Amino acid sequence: MDDAQAVGRLVRRCKAGDAAAWEQIVQQYHRRIYNICFRFARSADDAQDLTQEVFIKVYRTLSSYDVERGAFMTWVTTITRNLLVDHFRKSKQDRVTDSLDASPSENEDAMPLGQQIQDKTTPADMRSQSREAGEFVHRALQKLSPELREAVILRDLQDMDYREIATVLKVPEGTVKSRINRGRAELARLLQRTYRQVM
Amino acid sequence: MPVEGRNNMQCAEFDALLSDALDGLLTGDKSESFQAHARVCTVCGPLYSEADAGRRWLKSLGEIEPPANLVHNILVATGGRDTARAKSGQQVSWAAAVRGWMRPVFSPVFAVARQPRFAMSFGMAFFSLSVTLSLAGVKLTDLRHLDLRPAAIKRTYYETSGRVVKYYENIRLVYEIESRVREFKRATTPAEPASQPQNKEHKNNTSGQPEQRQERNYSQGPDQPVLAGLPNDPPVVMLTIYRRIA
C-alpha cells in the first residue's frame, strides 16, 4: 500500500510537470517494460524501440491515468501489451503457432526448431547447455500464439497475479488461468523433445 | 480419455485447479483429489506434467539487462530538453517560445526556399524590386523620417492625390495642345489629294482623340469645290510646350 501511495505521489508530481518525477518513473519501470518487450520481440533492437514507444505513449497519456482505478504498473503493462499487439499486427507476426515439426519462418534456418535445438546442443558441452537453454526457451516462446505467450510472460516472467493479468488482457480470470496452463504445456511440448533429460 | 476420479473430480474442475496446484495453493482433500485425478486421467495427467515443466522452463529464464543508453533515449524522446531546463533552472523566454512554435511551421518553407532554383528566383525578384524603387526615387533611408501619425498620413494622401491629378492634367493639356497644333497645321496645309498618308496618320494616332474623319461633312462630295481657303503667306506659329513632371 505504501508503494502504491508512493507511486501515486510520483505520478501526481509528474502530471504537475515535474521532470525529475518523470525521470524517476522511467528509472523505476524501464527494466520491467524492456523485459516484456524483449520476450515478445525477436531482437534487442526491436525491444529497445518498443520500450521507447511505450514510454512515449505513457508520457502522452499520463494525464488520463487515475490513481484510484488501479495500480500504475498494471496501467503501464496494459499500454505495453496493447502497443505490442498493434506492433505485431502491423508486422504480420501475430498468430505464429508453429510447432517443432512445422517449417520455421523465412528469417530462420530451413530446419524445424527441434532440429535446430538438437544441432546446436552437444552432449560434451554441458556448461554451455544451460546457458543456451535460455535462448532455446526464448525461441520456443516466440512459437507460442500471442494469446498464450502474453499470458505466460505476465505470469511466469513478470510475476503478476491473475487479477492483474485479467485486467491487462481484458479477459476473465478463468480464461487467464486456462491460457497460462495451455501456454506452459505447449512450451513444454516444444522443448521436451530435446530436453527430456534436463527435466 | 477423460475419466472421473475416485473423488468425483471432473476434468473441468481439474483444469480450473491446475494453476492453484502449480502455485502450491491446494491443500488437504482438494490436493489429494487433484493428484488422484492426475494419476488416472490420460488427458489431465500429461497436461499437469507438461504445464509444470513449462512453468519451470519459464522460471529458468533470467532477467534481461536493458541497454545502458535506454533511459537516456527515453528521456530525450519524451522531452529531455524540458528535463535539462528544469534541472538548470532556466526560464523559457517569450521570444524563444514563439520561435519554438513557429519553427515547425516555417522550417519546411525555408528548406524549400534554400534550394538553388528558388534562390535564383528570389534574387531576381529582389533585384527587380530594388531597381524599381530606385527609379521611383524611393530611398530606404527616407523611411526613417516616415511620419505615421493620422494627420500626417492624411496630409500625405492629399498631397499625393494633388500631384497625381496635376500630372494627369498636365498630360491632358499636352495632348490638347498637340491636337490643336495638328488641326492648325491641317488647316494651313493645302488639300492633299492622296489619302494614303491620312491612313498612316490614323494608324499612328495614339492620342485618344476622336478620328478626324468623323468630323468630316459626308454630305460634301469629292467633286465639290472647297469653299474655305488660306492666304498664300500662312502665319508662322511658335509654340513652346513645358511638360511638368511632378
Summarize pLDDT for B40-76 with one digit per residue, the tens.
888 888 889 999 988 988 888 878 888 888 888 888 8
Q: What is the mean pLDDT of residues A169-174?
A: 91
- Identify residues of A whose CB sits under 8 angstroms from chain B CBs: 18-20, 22-23, 26-27, 30-31, 34-35, 38, 44, 47-48, 51-52, 55-56, 59, 133-134, 137-138, 140-141, 152, 156-157, 162, 174, 177-178, 180-181, 183-189, 191-192, 199
DSSP A157: I
The 10s digit of each residue's pLDDT in A46-103 is: 899 999 999 999 998 888 888 777 888 889 999 999 998 888 777 765 444 443 334 3
List of chain A residues whose C-beta atoms are within 8 Å of the C-beta of residue B87 = 19-20
Q: Give CA A140 to chain center in angstroms.
A: 13
Domain ranges of chain B: 11-59, 101-139, 147-192
- Reading the block at residue A9, the C-alpha cell is 505521489
pLDDT at A128 over 80: no
Overall pTM > 0.90 = no
| CATH (residue range A2-90) | 1.10.1740.10
Consecutive H or E run containing A5 = helix A2-15
Residue A167 has pLDDT above 50, yes or no: yes
Cα distance between residue B19 and residue B27, in whole Å: 13
Does A1 score more than 60 pLDDT?
no
Region A4-21: what's the mean pLDDT? Answer: 85
Domain positions in chain A are 2-90, 113-195
Is B142 or B131 the better-scoring residue by pLDDT?
Answer: B131
By Cβ distance, the residue of B16, B52, B78 closest to A22 is B78
CA dihedral B108, B113, B117, B123 (to 10 degrees): 180
Q: Return the sign of the alpha-carbon dihedral for residues A74, A76, A79, A81.
A: negative
Closest CA to B14 of B26, B226, B136: B26
B50, A184: Cβ pair inside 8 Å? Answer: yes
pLDDT band at A6 (very low <50, low <70, confident <90, very high): confident
Report CA-CA distances (Å) from A135 to A33, A42, B60, B194: 19, 11, 11, 113
What gap in Å lies between CA B35 and CA B33, rounded to an integer?
6
Q: Which overall architecture, per CATH, does domain A113-195 show?
A: Orthogonal Bundle (1.10)
Nearest Cα neighbor of B55 from A162, A184, A195, A135 is A184
- Residue B85: predicted pLDDT: 42
Lowest mean pLDDT among A25-34, A181-190, B152-161: B152-161
Q: In the numeric block, which cell numbers belong to residue A82? A: 496493447
Grade residue A165 by pLDDT with cuts at 50, 70 and 90. Answer: very high
Contacts of B53 in chain A (CB under 8 A): 184, 188, 191-192, 199
What does the pLDDT average to over B217-245? 61
Tell me what pLDDT residue B239 has. Answer: 65
ipTM of model: 0.72
Average pLDDT over residues B150-178: 84
Q: What is the pLDDT of residue B9?
A: 80
